[in-house]
């Protein structure tokens, strides 16, 4: 008999909720977490300026009406320490700590066909068996440091934003080089610029950022909002992105130009990426429509950045707005007006190497005391592939996913019985409010395990046919949009040698949830259920 009903890997939003939900349904559960604390993303990414870009009234757990009434967010987009405190509070409130083992990395997981259980090995050499294996390793947790010749000779300090030292980093009076201008680079840059003697931003791809308009959550507004929280959460589950967004419901190309300007300006003033990008129906499916919003954004950059040459370099031109994660910042572009900030354009002068004193591009040498890598993640499948996962007949997940990760409904993959992936490839995951998508997946998994028990089954496995059909649907929907046009981490383009497969479901959180519910209600078609 297995030691446990379920092993969960990871203790971020997903692992925390999986422990709670599965325990509440009477299962024995242990989560292993590589980090020295819970929180996942919000444990590791403690760089200055880290904050959520989905409002916390959305980016928070909805499973407990009491929790959502008790907890009070200080502002619209709280910073990392507050989100971490929240997750810690959740673990306290629901007594989850005894079921989470910190500082323990899962190194291998093997399915035993005969015993119908998983054997899970951790980096302390311990082995535990479980009937079910739940991956909650995170879509954005396997961080990437680009291979930069000579980095080992650099005499200053360097850090990746996703492994930020808990004690912080003192940049006062230092010359700092920042590599990476995605969501994180854009968040951290103004914070460094405020204290460093000099900040060089090494930019390969200019990025779009909308203002946050971050502000405190006033008590009266909070009380009013919380009086209708339940209804709001329901709307979120049915929505496209996991956040209710009121768009105009019209295509931008059919709208008079002055109305377009007014609508975009109002949304720009209000702040937030989702309402801005959700203003019109055609922005993410029609290049001509996308050009309209892109030009609006470039105009905002031009009017903010005083040096016209720098402004033009900051104007994105190589991908449609929204086809990479839309960044949010109140002070990123204005930062370039500071005398101590220099933009280095890597498109015209690529980065060549590091040396003891700093970084060299093809045209100049930059003397530095510190380097910050905001270079992102091996997204979606990276962390799971770091575990030696072997399914039926010893097949390695790394081989099975050699041509790109795939999973039926983004939750289970053929050949790997009793294994579930929270926000896996083929689910809305990183293109949604992830707190909501995580809850939806965990609840589906809990219910599926419950169904097996209630109907005398012990195993569940996605069939290859169902998986292929689902991934074909995922691809078809993706290619009806502008998403695949970008060389983004969504498609694996940031990792050398990674197959280019668009593995995120862009058909909408609501429709996706309905499909998952239908499958469950119909007795799990597309899955092979087995009895002893």
Ligand X SMILES: Cc1cc2nc3c(=O)[nH]c(=O)nc-3n(C[C@H](O)[C@H](O)[C@H](O)COP(=O)(O)OP(=O)(O)OC[C@H]3O[C@@H](n4cnc5c(N)ncnc54)[C@H](O)[C@@H]3O)c2cc1C
User: Residues interacting with ligand X, by CB under 6 A?
Assistant: 9-15, 32-35, 40-41, 43, 45, 50, 52-54, 59, 105-106, 136-141, 184, 383, 387, 422-423, 433-434, 438
* 16/354 with CB nearer ligand X: 16
Question: Tokens 């959520």 sit at which residue?
Answer: 52
**The token pair that represents 238 in the structure block:** 């049915």
Decide if 373 contacts 180 (C-beta within 8 A).
yes
Closest by alpha carbon to 417, among 505, 501, 517, 531?
531
Other beta carbons within 10 angstroms of residue 428's beta carbon come to: 28
Shortest Cβ distance from residue 55 to ligand X (Å)? 8
Shortest Cβ distance from residue 31 to ligand X (Å)? 8
* 418/437 with CB nearer ligand X: 437
Closest by alpha carbon to 141, among 237, 224, 41?
41
Distance of CA 83 to the CA centre of its chain: 15
Shortest Cβ distance from residue 35 to ligand X (Å)? 5
Shortest Cβ distance from residue 201 to ligand X (Å)? 18
The angle that helices 219-226 and 229-238 make with each other, rounded to 10 degrees, is: 70
Q: What is the DSSP string of 444-473?
A: HHHHHHHHHHHTT--EEEE-HHHHHHHHHH
Torsion of CA 305, 308, 312, 314, to 10 degrees: -30
Shortest Cβ distance from residue 61 to ligand X (Å)? 12
* 4/368 with CB nearer ligand X: 4
* 242/320 with CB nearer ligand X: 242
Closest by alpha carbon to 418, among 455, 460, 457?
460
Shortest Cβ distance from residue 84 to ligand X (Å)? 11
Round to whole Å and give the CA distance between 525 and 301.
Answer: 50
* 241/294 with CB nearer ligand X: 241
* 93/105 with CB nearer ligand X: 105
Shortest Cβ distance from residue 270 to ligand X (Å)? 17
Shortest Cβ distance from residue 40 to ligand X (Å)? 2
Shortest Cβ distance from residue 75 to ligand X (Å)? 13
Shortest Cβ distance from residue 135 to ligand X (Å)? 8
Shortest Cβ distance from residue 431 to ligand X (Å)? 9
First to last CA, the chain: 13
DSSP 326: P
* 38/491 with CB nearer ligand X: 38
* 5/53 with CB nearer ligand X: 53
* 327/359 with CB nearer ligand X: 327
Round to whole Å and give the CA distance between 321 and 342.
Answer: 25
* 8/289 with CB nearer ligand X: 8
Round to whole Å and give the CA distance between 414 and 454.
Answer: 23
Establish how many alpha carbons lie within 13 A of residue 528's alpha carbon, considering only the half-sphere containing its beta carbon: 12
Round to whole Å and give the CA distance between 39 and 435.
Answer: 12
* 10/275 with CB nearer ligand X: 10
Number of H helices, E strands in the chain: 17, 20
What sign results for the dihedral spanned by CA atoms 430, 434, 437, 441? Answer: positive
**The token pair that represents 277 in the structure block:** 């990008």
128, β-bridge pairs: 120
Decide if 379 contacts 140 (C-beta within 8 A).
yes
**The token pair that represents 442 in the structure block:** 């965990």
* 10/358 with CB nearer ligand X: 10
CB-neighbour burial class of residue 388 (10 A; exposed 0-12, middle 13-18, buried 19+): middle
Shortest Cβ distance from residue 366 to ligand X (Å)? 26
Where b means 16+ CB within 10 Å and e means fewer, 226-244 reads: beeeeebbeebbebbbbbb
């Amino acid at each position: 008999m297995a030691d446990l009903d379920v092993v969960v890997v990871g203790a971020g939003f997903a692992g925390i909720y999986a422990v709670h939900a599965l325990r509440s349904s009477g299962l024995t559960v242990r989560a292993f977490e590589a980090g020295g604390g819970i929180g996942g993303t919000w444990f590791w990414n403690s760089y200055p300026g880290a904050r959520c870009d989905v409002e916390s009234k959305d980016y928070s757990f909805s499973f407990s009406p009491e929790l959502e009434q008790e907890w009070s967010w200080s502002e619209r987009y709280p910073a990392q320490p507050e989100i971490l405190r929240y997750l810690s509070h959740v673990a306290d409130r629901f007594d989850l700590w005894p079921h989470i083992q910190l500082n323990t990395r899962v190194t291998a997981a093997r399915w035993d066909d005969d015993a119908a259980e998983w054997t899970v090995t951790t980096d302390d050499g311990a082995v535990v068996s479980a009937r079910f294996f739940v991956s909650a390793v995170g879509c954005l947790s396997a961080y990437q440091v680009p291979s930069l010749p000579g980095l080992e000779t650099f005499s200053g300090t360097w850090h990746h934003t996703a492994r930020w030292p808990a004690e912080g980093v003192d940049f006062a009076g230092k010359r700092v080089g920042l590599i990476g201008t995605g969501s994180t680079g854009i968040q951290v840059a103004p914070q460094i610029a405020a204290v460093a003697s000099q900040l060089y931003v090494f930019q390969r791809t200019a990025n779009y950022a909308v203002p946050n308009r971050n502000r405190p959550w006033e008590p009266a507004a909070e009380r009013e909002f919380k009086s209708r929280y339940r209804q709001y959460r329901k709307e979120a589950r049915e929505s496209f992105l996991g956040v209710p967004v009121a768009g105009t419901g019209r295509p931008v190309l059919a709208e008079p130009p002055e109305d377009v300007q007014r609508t975009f300006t109002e949304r720009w003033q209000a702040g937030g990426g989702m309402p801005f990008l959700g203003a019109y129906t055609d922005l993410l499916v029609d290049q001509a429509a996308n050009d309209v919003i892109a030009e609006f954004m470039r105009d905002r950059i031009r009017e903010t950045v005083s040096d016209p040459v720098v402004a033009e370099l900051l104007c994105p031109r190589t991908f449609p707005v929204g086809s990479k994660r839309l960044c949010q910042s109140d002070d990123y572009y204005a930062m370039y007006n500071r005398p101590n900030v220099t933009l280095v354009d890597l498109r015209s002068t690529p980065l060549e190497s590091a040396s003891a004193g700093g970084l060299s591009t093809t045209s100049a040498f930059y003397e530095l005391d510190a380097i910050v890598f905001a270079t992102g993640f091996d997204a979606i499948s990276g962390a799971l592939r770091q575990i030696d996962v072997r399914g039926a007949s010893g097949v390695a997940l790394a081989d099975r996913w050699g041509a790109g990760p795939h999973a039926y409904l983004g939750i289970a993959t053929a050949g790997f019985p009793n294994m579930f992936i929270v926000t896996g490839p083929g689910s809305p995951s990183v293109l949604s409010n992830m707190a909501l998508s995580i809850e939806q997946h965990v609840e589906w998994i809990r219910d599926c395990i419950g169904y097996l028990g209630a109907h005398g089954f012990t195993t569940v496995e996605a069939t290859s046919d169902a998986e292929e059909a689902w991934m074909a649907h995922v691809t078809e929907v993706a290619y009806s949009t502008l998403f695949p046009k970008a060389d983004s981490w969504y498609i694996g383009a940031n990792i050398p040698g990674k197959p280019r497969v668009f593995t995120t479901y862009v058909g909408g959180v609501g429709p996706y949830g309905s499909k998952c519910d239908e499958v469950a209600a119909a007795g799990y078609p597309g899955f092979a259920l087995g009895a002893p």
